[in-house]
Each structure stands twice: as C-alpha cells, then as structure tokens.
Amino acid sequence: MTPETYVQDKAAASGSSFYYAFLFLPPERRAAITAFYAFCREVDDVVDETRDLGVAQTKLAWWRQEVAQAFTGTPNHPVTQALMPHTRTFGIEARHLLAVIDGCQMDLDQNRYLDFANLQEYCHLVAGIVGEVAARIFGQTQPETTAFAHKLGLAFQLTNITRDVGEDAARGRIYLPVNDLQKFDVKAHELLKRGPAPGVEAADFERRFNALMAFQCARALQTYDEALAMLPKADRRAQKPGLMMASIYRTLLREIAEDPLLVLTQRVSLTPLRKLWLAWKVQALGRL
C-alpha cells in the first residue's frame, strides 16, 4: 500500500463530513488536505483508542519525534510520507503538526474545562490550527482569512463537542465548561451516567439538559455566523471547501437542537447522500 492510498483510506474510513468537501478540490490540493487530515486522525486516535495512559503518552512522544524527522527529510510513517511533499507548496510547518499533538496531549492531561475561555485554548490547538492549515491548502490569498479559519475551526469543534456529549462521557470526559453546567444545574455525574441521578425525576433532568444543550447549540451557531462574516470576499471562492463543511455541520447542529437527548445515547449524523447534497449546493450554487 502506498502512502497516498493509506491516507485516502484513512480519510474515507472516518466517515467525516470533511471528506465530502475534499472531493471538490483539484488533485494536488485534495492530496494535501487528505494527508493532513489523516495525520490529525492518527494523532487523535492515540487518545480515543489507547486505554493505557502511559502507552498513549509514549505514542504522542513518538509522533513528536516523527514530525521532527519528517521535516529533516526522513519521514517513516505513511501519513508523513504522504504529507511532506506538500508542506512547502502550501506553507505547512512543523509547528502546525506539533500544535495538533499538543491539543491531543491536553486530552490526556485533563478531562474538564472550567469555563469557555479555558475550552477555547484547547479548541485553538485541535481545530483552529487545523483550520489555518486547511485554509492555506484551499488557496488562501488574504491574511484576514487566517482569523476566519480559526473562528470556523472553533465552530466545528463546538459542534463536535455538542454531538459527542454521550460518547465523551463514556470515556470519562466532559468538554462542556463547568460554569455552563452550573448555570443550568446539570451535574457532572449526571452526564457521566447519561441520565438523572437516583431519586431525580427524568423530566427534571431532561428539562435542565435540554436548556444546557440549547445554550451550547446557540453559541456554536453564533460562532459560525461570526466566522462567515470574517471571510474576505476575495477568498470566498477559494475557501468553498470550508463553507461546504460549515453547511454540513450547521445542519447537523440544528438537528441536534431539535432533540438534544439523542446525543446521550447515539451519535447523531447526516446520511452520506445528504452531506454530498449540502456540499454540492455550496459548490454549484454558492449557498450554505
């Protein structure tokens, strides 16, 4: 299997909405973003799939070393072998890849975030930096587009956090800020249990949880609006893949808002056909 086939399979197997936006890119840009996305998936899988903390720490340390070696001309992993030919063309630097690893390191070091400002620091590493690199690959020409990419990355990550409340709780993680939980009187142990505590009526828990999630959805939707307002007109055409992803993720967020309790028991998602339709509408009609 060639490095290019490896990263293609990695990206396709993830089922991510990002993959559908990549399909509309010209070959070189598609190859670059696919390799970069596969790198992000590989590093993220260390946290999600490795149960032993010591083993996960060792794997992230290996990835740091691999990034250093890759940028000195000796990549060993198929992902870095596929990515390195594109780094100079699209301005991808070692600091970008190391920041993604730093974000995954935060997952190992903490599983609670006190407030939204604290959460944003994490989102900057695992999503904002990813958005910055993606914008470069898509064809950024305006410096202001970097701020747009970071804000859009934040919106994507807030959507992921909202969608994954149940899955994260099963791993003992809560990304919703502590002060948000307190504001809506939702207890951490209720999220970890994914339901009301003993002696608490289900209807009471549902009311509090739905209010919390309505707040999270509204904040994420507002972040999309803020991001889209920041995109320079001169780069709107080049950044269509990001706009495609925004269309898919905003649609997903609105579906979650209609029945927030679903996130506690299942992964809410759109069908592949619907994702492709939403991406095509942006590509062909320019509409989100």
| Domains located in the chain, CATH noted | 1-109 (1.10.600.10), 112-287 (1.10.600.10)
pLDDT for 11 equals 82
Which pLDDT score, from 0 to 100, does residue 15 have? 63
Residue where the block lists tokens 């596929």: 82
Q: Which long-range contacts (CB under 8 A, 24 or more apart) does 41-49 make?
A: 41/10, 41/11, 41/14, 42/10, 42/77, 42/79, 43/100, 43/101, 43/104, 44/104, 44/126, 46/104, 47/104, 47/107, 47/108, 48/171
Rg (CA), the chain: 19
pLDDT at 245: 92
pTM for the structure as a whole: 0.92
Question: What does the pLDDT read at residue 199?
Answer: 79
Show the 3-state SS of 244-267.
Answer: HHHHHHHHHHHHHHHCHHHHHCCC
pLDDT at residue 18 in the model: 74
CA distance 7 to 13: 10
- The number of beta carbons lying within 10 Å of the beta carbon of residue 189 is 8
C-alpha 192, offset from chain centre: 22
- Tens-digit pLDDT profile for the chain (288 aa)? 899 999 988 887 766 667 777 878 899 999 999 999 999 999 999 888 878 889 999 999 999 999 999 999 999 999 999 999 999 999 999 999 999 999 999 988 888 999 999 999 999 999 999 999 999 999 999 999 999 999 999 999 999 999 999 999 998 899 999 999 999 999 999 999 988 878 788 899 999 999 999 999 999 999 999 999 999 999 999 999 999 999 999 999 999 999 999 999 998 988 888 988 988 888 877 666
- Helix-helix angle 116-123:145-163, to 10 degrees: 110
